[in-house]
Chains A and B, each alone.
Chain A
Amino acid sequence: DTAVSQTPKYLVTQMGNDKSIKCEQNLGHDTMYWYKQDSKKFLKIMFSYNNKELIINETVPNRFSPKSPDKAHLNLHINSLELGDSAVYFCASSQRASNTEAFFGQGTRLTVV
């Protein structure tokens, strides 16, 4: 049973397209996150949701829109994809939104051509 699962694992698309990445966690956690890992492997938070409410939005372009239909799901929709959006996107979850470890999905490698 995968704790945090995200789909797809790989995504290759053309500039200008719109795409979505889905994430689900079966850990019963209250908080979910999206992180971006760049080509140098640096990880930075993009968004965080606690009980379906957005609590962190870290200076991410408006083309990125997260949606949390319920506590167990957090999806990421990206409009008008650009070359610079190519990265690995990780979904994660934690029991609460404070001072605790997060559990990560396998990542989605997005390549924009």
Chain B
Amino acid sequence: GNSVTQMEGPVTLSEEAFLTINCTYTATGYPSLFWYVQYPGEGLQLLLKATKADDKGSNKGFEATYRKETTSFHLEKGSVQVSDSAVYFCALTAYNQGGKLIFGQGTELSVKP
């Protein structure tokens, strides 16, 4: 079946450090890939998306590239801020699955000043 695997957290970084959160997936066909962010006490917000191979999604300094050859969608940011502290979820939807999102287990990021 379809699945998403993320690197385990928590990840603790100093402000202005480089961030990478790894995400790999297993899916039949051509899924769409997403990163969602959950700030403390809040719901999920869509951070970025990519719908086909080699697409790069980007938003708020974050970016991720849909790599079909390595079935990966790693999240990166060049310089993190304290306000980026949150839980990040990688997710996919596959064709003919009723729009169901399959999530990775989430990676908690803590950025220290």
Contact = CB atoms under 8 A, between A and B. Distances in A.
A18 interface: no
Interface string A27-61: 00001010100001111110010100001101000
B71 to A, nearest CB: 17
B34 interface: yes
Q: How large is the interface on B (under 10, 10 to 19, 20 to 34, 35 or more residues)?
A: 20 to 34
Contact of A105 (B38, B43, B96, B98): B43
Interface of A: 4, 31, 33, 35, 40-45, 48, 50, 55-56, 58, 90, 92, 94, 96-107
Interface in B36-88: 36, 38, 42-46, 49, 51, 87
A48 B99 contact: yes
Nearest to A43: B103
Contact of A103 (B38, B42, B46, B95): B46
Contacts of B106: 41-43
Given A90-B44, A107-B43, A100 B103 contact: no
Contact of B99 (A97, A106, A107): A97
A53 B105 CA distance: 29
B111 to A, nearest CB: 18
A96 B34 CA distance: 16
Contacts of B99: 31, 33, 48, 50, 94, 96-100, 102
A99 B32 contact: yes
B110 interface: no
A109 B91 CA distance: 22
